[in-house]
Amino acid sequence: MTDTVKKKIPLKEGFWKISSEADGKPQLIGSKCKSCGEVFFPKKEKNWCIHCNKTDLEEITLSRKGKIVTFSVVLQQPGGGFYKGDVPYSYGCVKLDDGLIIETLFSADDLDSLKVGMDVELVIEKLYQDEDGNEVETFKFQPLS
């Protein structure tokens, strides 16, 4: 019998993890330079700090919450055919509680309800469904309920 249950595939491996330490909630994975203290997201694949150029990076998890710095609601299909998610959609920047600013998609029932300065939290959600019926997931931030 064919297994028809859809698989959930992350957009890219290593962006987030789900562990019991965080009550089973997702956490983004970044890199921290032990030499200069700079933090990067996504985590660096190579052990090289682009700020101080030392080779002393460690893997860390990032705050789950933050505030919206900017956002824009996109009303047309992005060019090139790379993006397969819904349109309209919204993306922008979030400043996490631990101080790092990251670029992210936003998730909201009403995209027009998003506001600069709004408190948001990390979720893992479907980005699109591929030809095989698998769900490609990615990280987004949504307004605190």
Q: Interface residues with other proteins (CB under 8 A)?
A: 11-12, 15, 36-39, 42, 50-51, 69-85, 89, 91-93, 95, 99-103, 105, 116, 127, 136, 138
Q: Of 23 and 46, which has the nearer Cβ to other proteins? A: 46
Nearer to other proteins, 25 or 111 (CB): 111
- End-to-end CA separation in angstroms for the chain: 41
* Dihedrals phi, psi of 3, to nearest 5 degrees: -80, 110
Lookup: tokens for 118: 């709004």
Q: Least distance to other proteins from the beta carbon of 74, Å? A: 5
Q: Can you tell me the distance from the alpha carbon of 27 to that of 61, in angstroms, rounded to the nearest whole number?
A: 6
Q: How far is the CB of 61 from other proteins (least distance, A)?
A: 17
Q: How far apart are CA 6 and CA 28, in angstroms?
A: 24
- Minimum CB separation of residue 93 from other proteins in Å reads 6
Looking at the Cβ atoms of 89 and 122, the one nearer to other proteins is 89
SS3 assignment, position 73: strand
Q: How many CB atoms lie within 10 A of CB 109?
A: 7
Min. distance of Cβ 50 from other proteins in angstroms?
Answer: 7
Cβ distance to other proteins smaller for residue 72 or 129? 72
